[in-house]
Amino acid sequence: MALPSLGICGWTMPRLKKWKDLVDVFMRQYKFNIDVGPNRLSLQAMENNNKESIREYARRWSEVAAQVNPPMLEKEMISLFSNTFKAPYFEYLVRSSAQHFTDLVVIAERIEQAIRLGKIFDPTEKNGFIGKGKDTEGGCQVTYRPYS
């Protein structure tokens, strides 16, 4: 049984005799998508947006990771995901002994909660003030950083 030739968006497919012919035409047309798909370097370059929770970031990151060829092992996913974070997340995630990606996400959420509660200091946040204060004894520099 011959497959009908279809006209899609002004593009006419050649007369197809077998399903394999359709597969070949499809692969030639969309091969570009395979070549530009995400890879391990693009995963390392991903960053967590400030507006995005850890869980949302982990979901977005894992969706991209699922598209990487060849597929990654769990250990590699844990390592790459940890490396996308900055201080203080990175230090705590690297020290963790998470064996599964989901465990690492839970640890990152705990770090996020501890930062919000002020139990862990986040150097990227603008807390306190840093600048020169006036001193009657000769202009001492004053720096204030809250510690938890």
- Tens of pLDDT, residue by residue over 21-74, are 888 888 888 776 666 778 888 889 999 888 899 999 999 999 999 988 889 999
Alpha-carbon span 90 to 81, nearest angstrom: 10
Residue 113 structure tokens: 């909660």
Per-residue pLDDT tens over the stretch 86-136: 988 999 998 988 999 999 999 999 999 999 999 988 776 665 545 554 544
Residues 26, 62: contact at Cβ < 8 Å?
A: no
Q: What is the pLDDT of residue 49?
A: 84
Specify the pTM: 0.60
Q: What are the residue ranges spanned by the domains of the chain?
A: 1-36, 40-116
Measuring CA to CA, how many Å separate 131 from each of 7, 25, 32, 122, 148?
A: 68, 66, 53, 19, 21
- Taking alpha carbons only, the member of 86, 123, 92 closest to residue 107 is 92
> Strands 11-12 and 7-8, how do they pair?
antiparallel
Q: What is the pLDDT of residue 37?
A: 74
In this predicted structure, the answer to whether residue 144 has a pLDDT above a threshold of 80 is no
Question: What residues contact residue 109 under an 8 Å CB cut-off, 6+ apart?
Answer: 53, 54, 55
143: β partners: 130
**Number of C-beta neighbours around residue 107 at 10 A:** 19
Q: What is the pLDDT of residue 61?
A: 95
Confidence of residue 138 (pLDDT cuts 50, 70, 90): low
Confidence of residue 77 (pLDDT cuts 50, 70, 90): very high
